Each structure stands twice: as C-alpha cells, then as structure tokens.
Amino acid sequence: MREDVIGRSRVIDTPELEAYYAQLGRFEAGALWTVANDIEPWFPRPASVPVIWRYRDLRPLVRQAPALVKPEDAGRRVVMLVNPKRREISAAVGLLYTGLQVMNAGECASAHKHAASALRFIMEGSGAFTVVDGERMTLGARDFVLTPVGTWHEHGVDESGTQCIWQDGLDIPLVNALDANFFTVHPNLQQPVTQPIDSSYAAYSRGFLQPAFLRQNWKKPYSPLLKYPWEPTYEALCAASRCHEGSPYDGILMEYVNPITGGAVMPTIGASMQLLPPGLRTRAHRHTGSFVYQVAKGRGCAVIDGCRYDFEEKDIFALPSWSIHEFHNASDTDDLCLFSFNDLPVMRALALYQEQAYAENGGHQPITASA
C-alpha cells in the first residue's frame, strides 16, 4: 500500500524491484517497504467488526443443542459467537472468545484444565454449579465465576435444577496467538470436592476484609475469589450511584478485582459491571482493548463508530479496539446494567493502553446506521 507521505513507504514497483523481491523470496525474506504501511497503520485497524448477538435469535438455537449432541461427545456443548471477520480464529472480537453453553439438569461436563483463562456469566436456569480446584460453587442468574489459567474445572447442573444457559468468555485466541496453549483432561474425569461449597466467597465476601490465614499462602497469578454473585454486585453499584456520578463515558463502572492485588481478576482478562441510571446517555470515546458486553439488566443502545445497536437483556455485543462508542439507557425508570469482559490487563501490562475522548458534536456521534 503506497502512501504519498514523507516518512511512509511510497516506493513505486518496477520490473527491477519485482525481480529483487523474487530473489528475496528464495531466502524467506522480503522488502519491508512492500508491507510497511499495512503493518504499521496510523492507528489501530482491527480486523474485527462490531457485532450484536440478540438473545431472542440465539436462545432457541441454544436450547436445541441438547437434543443434538451429548455433553460427553461435545466436550462442552457451546454455541460460540463468532466475529464474521475472525472466523479463522473463532474470536468474538480481538483475541477474545465467547459462547453460550447449555446444560440440562443432571448433566455434568468432564473436568479439564488449560492455559487459557475462562469466565462464566450465568444467564438463566437454576442448579448450575462449577467446580474449580476442589471448590464447588453454586450459580444463579448474573453470577460471575472464574476458571483461571491452569485450574482444574468442570460445570454441571444439579438433578434438581432446570436447564441452564450461561455465557463463556475465554482468551483462547490470545493464548493461541502467543503459541502458549495447553489442555489436559482430568485423569478421573471428575475432580473431588475438597472444600466447603462457595468457600472462596465465604472468605472474601467483603473484599476489603481479607482472611490472613488464606492470603498469606496465595501465590497464584489470579484471584483467590472465584465467584462474584449478582446480588452484592448490584447493591454495590446502587450504593455507588447514590454518591458518585461515575465516568462520563461509562457511568458507574465497577471492575471485578482480585482482592489480593486490587488488580484484574485474571492476568489476561478483566471484567466489569457498569450501571447507567435511567435515561443516562454517556459521552463517546475510544480506547485500545477489545470488549464483549452482555446486557445484564435493562435495555438501551450502544452507538459504535456511528452505528446504533439497540439491545435488550441478555443480548451480547462486541466492541473492537479503538472503536468510538457510547451508551444510552433507554428507560426513564429502570437501571441499565452491562456486564463486560475485556483484554485491558494485557493492554496495561504491555503498555499499549491508549484513550481518546470524542470531542466533536458535543461528545455524541452522529448516527449513520443501525443494526
């Protein structure tokens, strides 16, 4: 790609150069100037595009899956949500994967571990549970649960429960891009439960008060708190919203944190829940980092790069890096809550985070399309 700007590649190819390129090719080499402008863009140009997956479309298909495949054959029975421009790496956006997993009462997947880090956000059903390194956690709607890098984990639904659907989020495309993925099936297929149910939440239920007897031995690179239930989360958001205006771009945005460090829950994936009070319209901005959102409560819309995406509860949408975005709570009476997970811990650890307010037009994008 030739750009006629000083400091950029603007070589005009000639037969002589073509011959030179051919010679370079013989030795697994090439001329940088033939690709420089492409691989060094002026600003991020993600392959990923914004996408919205509406739950009313997907739910019937997800609920159909149990009739089609058995969990023991599928490994995990998941409808994955794939960015149309990242099909080759099964990414929802950037290097993040997401999907909707469904299990019937009494089903249980086999235990495994992997170098990828995972999270779950429960969407519907009762009786779901996850076991992580010997701790069994009971899960209800909008609970958020971690299965971090290298942990033995498995999911299931109690015999007494109902069909459950949850969103999985993983960094599989990232870990694959870094050539660092490992996968192991548990030798016994199910791991023993060695601790009281929900014991990490029992220990860290207040976050600012921490069990010295557990903390002092924690050496892992992720949060010792594995389940973040919805009820205290929503209470905390409401309490904060009574005292604080929050961010102009995100309202009352609260990060789920690793209480030991105050940092992200896992080294590669951050997660947040944000509340927009009734009627709030945030200002637009953009930043590096890829995000997958789920509408946890309420309805409204996002405007991403000028396109409007109306959404309802349980809809999922993807925000590519450096896309201009803003949110609107369409209700005058109800809160809008957005759950999201992202690769911000990667951006920050690698010093790649950049942010820019959208200054034009009073901070709101002109809407040029809707999806």
Choose one: 288-296, 307-315, 331-339, 361-369; the region binding a copy of itself (CB under 8 A): 288-296
Report if residue 184 touches a copy of itself, rule: CB under 8 A: yes
Count of residues interacting with a copy of itself (CB under 8 A): 151
Dihedral pair phi/psi, residue 330, rounded to 5°: -75, -10
Task: Give the x-and-dash track for 149-168 against a copy of itself (CB under 8 A).
Answer: x-------------------
**Rounded to whole angstroms, how far apart are CA atoms 92 and 47?**
11
Q: How far is the CB of 89 from a copy of itself (least distance, A)?
A: 7
DSSP H helices in 138-198: 172-177
**135-157 exposure pattern, b = at least 16 Cβ within 10 A, e = fewer:** bbbbbebbbbbbbbbbbbbbbbb
d(CA 197, CA 10): 64
Instruction: Tell me: does residue 349 bind a copy of itself (CB under 8 A).
Output: yes
Footprint (CB under 8 A) of a copy of itself, residues 305-344: 320-322, 343
Q: Which of 122, 83, 117 is nearest to 100 (CA)?
A: 122
Least Å distance between CB 40 and a copy of itself? 5
The least CB distance from residue 156 to a copy of itself, in Å, is 14
CB 345 within 8 Å of CB 263: yes
**Which of residues 264 and 303 has its CB atom nearest to a copy of itself in the complex?**
264
CB 49 within 8 A of CB 92: no
Q: Is 95 in the site for a copy of itself (CB under 8 A)?
A: yes
Per CB under 8 A, the list member of 1, 45, 194, 370 interacting with a copy of itself is 45
Which of 123, 128, 139, 172 touches a copy of itself by CB under 8 A?
Answer: 172
Q: Which of residues 219-278 bind a copy of itself (CB under 8 A)?
A: 221-223, 225, 228, 232-233, 235-237, 239-240, 242-244, 246-247, 250, 252-262, 267-268, 272-273
**Exposed/middle/buried for residue 299 (C-beta within 10 Å: 0-12, 13-18, 19+):** middle
Can you tell me the distance from the alpha carbon of 28 to that of 23, in angstroms, rounded to the nearest whole number? 9
Nearer to a copy of itself, 141 or 260 (CB): 260
